Structure 1
Amino acid sequence: MKWCWLFLFLSSFTYARSPLVIDIISSENFSQRYKEFLAGRSVLEVDDFHPSTKGSHIEIIEMVLLQQALFLGGEHRPVVFNPKPSVNVIEFSDLIAGDSLLLARSTWHEDLLDYKGSLYITEPLVEYGEYEAGFYVTKRNVALHDMPAERLNQLTVVANPRWKVDWRALNNTDINVVSFIGPWETMLEMVETNVVDAMLINFSVSESLVLNFEGREYVPINELKLLLPDSRHFVVSKRHPEGEQVFNALNTGLAILKQRGILKKALIESGFINGRVKDWHMVNESMLMRALP
């Protein structure tokens, strides 16, 4: 009875403390999809990472892995996700100022190089060589579905030059890259209206790899994939008063998740590491070879 009372007291004390506030992107429906994925489960109970909603699943899995890592690292306070329209993959002003603690999304290491003095960078959630994408074309454009690698110099692919990793990967191929700075949806519309042939997109979690967006269907060019040559990490503010403590907990927890094989399991089950394209030809394979010791 004594131990039971002590446990209840400590639990009440833990959850009475102020929660950890973590930023997410408000322009996406991550919060709703996250709730649908949990389906009433505690985030600490999740051990099956298969998708339960349409669309890219990695954002939801990262929200789960982030909390599991924090808990394993000794940070047991409840988490509150704070939707912020200013949060995106290349903007860290609130983190640098210490107004935000950390982001619920991983970030390319290359985008963090100029901010190492202001941001703690965790061990990789996605290792170099694990991030692959397909060349998505409209389903009706049958002529492109089986384009051989030898004809890639005839393919036009839209890309945002501010997405440094995508841009560098595409420019290490014979593909004709069309520069466009603007919303993701507009880039997909360029594919839809035949302004360009294709767009680089994470492989869909559907069995057929078909991407359905607003009733329109897109498919990857068969047997071809592209390596995105970088690793992805969580970042924590160095100027936030809780930054160092939270970073240490997060990094410790990520190491435990990796050692237990949970990180790789989550990436595979979520469809991020897609077994259906395991044997597809990597058109920029030389970039992977240069990264090996």
Structure 2
Amino acid sequence: MSPKTFATRSTDKARFGIFVALSFTLCALAAFRSVPANATETVDIRFPVREAEFDAVLSCQNDNNPDCRSCLAYRPNSTSLVMYSILEKALQAGGLAARVEVVPSPNSERSRMMVSEGFADIKSDWDFNIDADPEALKSAPILRRGAVEKGIYVREDNLTLSDNKPISNVHNMSAVSIRTWRLDWDVLESLAPASLTSAATKQQMYAMINANRADFTLLEFSSTPAMVREVEGIRLYPVPGVKVTLPASQHFMISRHLPDADKIVGALNSGINALHANGFIHQCLTNSGIINEQVKDWRILNAAEDQMAPEKTTPSN
């Protein structure tokens, strides 16, 4: 064999070795790329929070101690922190490595628009609002239909009157609410009070009851022992023994503009179901006052309507 032939064969062997190594590397890279993003990368999720609660949620986001996201502490009126905690925990339980970052928003309507247009990624909302938006996907329910309960709130001096007459006579009482609180409005219409007036603001609603221009309204139960609600010094109290439920469910609204949105919804659904099963979601809702254990045995005034149409969805506030 000539030196030239030997050299040529050596070169060919070297080239073949390089080719094999390169092929192996490309296959490995292809296999790596084929792994779902949720197994290899941390996904950033932008979560809009209204300005009134933004600082509290941002502080928790930046806190290395996870206790503030555990829902173990009693934290009344911290709805945004509750939903932030459930979202983070659900993504984790669903097997998705995600970093939830809060972004400020002036109100719920603007937050909804931010998710729809892709300026934010996920927020909690009523089923009705999500179903109406073609740019949004819907998770499994966080708050199941009927889980949100409200009281019949009156002035303190009207509690005695309420105790002395059957609550079935609510149709002899006058009600006030805000028409854009559409779920509340629908429930009030179903109760058929003597009259139903729309107020422009929550402050005006309280003022009308305080001035005896209306007898009652629907409000979330406070987590205080007396369950009092107060606005600008006007205190309202729930009529004992009765409540209403809102005939809708709450879910996470996921922007279709979010990369791998369908995979994220799948992870969320798996996580939400797990958090319902292990009691984490109930713990969050109870410790925030969204679910009030003080009224769990109270009679539901609109129960018959809710039971007759369990799949009906109605607008909400």
Q: Aligned residue for 1:74? A: 95
- How far apart in 1 are the matches of 2:199 and 2:262? 35
Partner of 1:210: 228
Correspondence list, 1:70-219, <5 A? 70-85=91-106, 87-89=107-109, 92-103=112-123, 106-115=124-133, 117-146=134-163, 148-180=166-198, 182-219=200-237
Change (3 A) 1:241 1:33: closer
Q: What secondary structure is seen at the aligned counterpart in 2 of 1:83?
A: strand
Are 2:258 and 1:240 aligned?
A: yes
Deviation at 1:144, TM superposition (A): 4.5
> Using the alignment, how far apart are the partners of 2:253 and 2:105 within structure 1?
16
* CA displacement 1:197-246 (0-9 Å, x = unmatched): 22211111112212233443221012121111111111011123353343
Bigger fraction of residues in helix: 2
1:71-129 per-residue CA deviation (whole Å, 9 max, x = no partner) reads 222333332211111x41587332222222122xx3221223321x3211111111112
SS of residue in 1 equivalent to 2:257:
coil
Q: Which amino acid in the other structure matches residue 237 of structure 1? A: S
Equivalent position to 1:48, from 66, 69, 72: 72
Structure 1 or 2, whichever has the larger Rg, is 2
Matched residue, 1:23: 48
Structure 2 unaligned spans of 5+: 1-38, 312-317
Secondary structure, aligned partner of 1:99: coil
Q: Which residue of 1 aligns with 2:56?
A: 32
* Secondary structure in structure 1 of the residue aligned to 2:114: helix
C-alpha distance in 2 between matches for 1:111 and 1:144: 38
Name the structure 1 match of 2:23.
Answer: none
In 2, the alpha carbon distance for the partners of 1:36 and 1:176 equals 46
Distance in 1 between residues matched to 2:64 and 2:283, nearest whole Å: 22
CA contact (8 A) 1:96 1:238 kept: yes
Contact persistence 2:150–2:219 (CA under 8 A): yes
Return the letter of the residue paired with 2:138: I
Amino acid at match of 1:95: V
Map residues 220-259 of structure 1 onto 2, 5 A cutoff.
Answer: 220-241=238-259, 243-259=261-277
Q: 2:286 & 2:205 partners in 1: Cα distance?
A: 28
TM-score norm. by structure 2 comes to 0.74
Fraction of identical pairs, as percent: 23
User: Which of 74, 86, 94 does residue 65 from structure 1 map onto?
Assistant: 86
Amino acid at match of 1:25: R
SS of 1:234 mapped into structure 2: strand
Cα distance change of structure 1 residues 272 and 79 upon mapping to structure 2, 3 Å threshold = same
Change (3 A) 1:30 1:141: farther
Partner residue in 1 for 2:26: none
Q: Which amino acid aligns with 2:89?
A: Q
1:4 corresponds in structure 2 to none
Listed as ranges, the gaps of 5+ residues in structure 1 are 1-13
Q: State the Cα distance separating 1:21 from its structure 2 match.
A: 1.8
Structure 1 CA distance, aligned partners of 2:228 and 2:262? 42
Q: Is the 8 A contact 1:159 1:177 kept in 2?
A: no
SS of 2:262's equivalent in the other structure is helix
Counterpart Cα distance in 1 of 2:61 and 2:239: 30
What is the distance in 2 between the residues matched to 1:256 and 1:217? Answer: 40
Residues 177-199 of structure 1: per-residue CA shift (max 9 Å, x gap): 53426333332333233332222
Change (3 A) 1:214 1:242: farther
Q: 1:33 to 1:112 in 2, by over 3 A?
A: closer
Judged with a 3 Å threshold, the aligned counterparts in structure 2 of structure 1 residues 262 and 177 are, in CA distance, closer, same or farther, namely: farther
**Equivalent pairs, count:** 271
One-letter code of the match for 2:187? Answer: A
Amino acid at match of 1:88: S
Q: TM-score, normalised by structure 1?
A: 0.79
Moved more, 228-237 or 139-148: 139-148
- Structure 2 vs 1, CA of residues 173 and 47 (structure 1 numbering), >3 Å: closer, same or farther? closer
